[in-house]
Amino acid sequence: MPVDRLKKYLEEKGHAFTGETDTEVLAHLIGELYQGDLEKAVQAALREVKEETTLTGLKFILGERFIETGPYSHGKTARYYLASSHVGVVSLPVNPELGRAEHNEYRWVSAPEARELLSPRVLGVLGWAEALLRPEDFV
């Protein structure tokens, strides 16, 4: 499913997004798919990431540890996990339904750059990640 359609689907189910990143859509998707079986929800979300960005081999470096944002639309919360990947290049494949890639850019950013891009509701997630990771992980 294209990310824009997935985001629209999640919005119709009451999810509110503060930004335009696929990562935020992934976090919402994991929360939506979670039905008491975290592994099943994460695997479903990983399939979506692979289809949208070609990123594979994601490893959840803290296991099942996560952080949630405060409540938003209809009292829901977004759950965030930290993952790493040996793949450094993101590819934006052509979506057969659209006849083009769904997105026209991506970028890796440092923590200070991320701080400038994130909404106030998600800034706490970055602070949590910074407290858990070494500074060189953000280069």
- CA 96 vs. chain centroid, Å, equals 23
pLDDT of residue 120: 86
Domain ranges of the chain: 3-138
What's the rounded Cα separation, in Å, for the pair 139 and 130? Answer: 12
SS3 of 104, please? coil
Residue 68, beta-bridge partner list: 79
Q: Which CATH architecture has domain 3-138?
A: Alpha-Beta Complex (3.90)
* Total-model pTM: 0.53
Mind listing the pLDDT tens digit of every residue in the chain (139 residues)? Answer: 566 777 887 887 788 877 777 777 777 777 777 667 777 777 777 777 777 777 777 777 777 778 888 777 777 777 787 877 777 677 888 888 888 887 777 777 888 998 998 888 888 989 988 888 865 654 4
- CA 50 vs. chain centroid, Å, equals 12
DSSP state of 70: P
Contact indicator for 30, 40 with CB cutoff of 8 Å = no
pLDDT of residue 116: 92
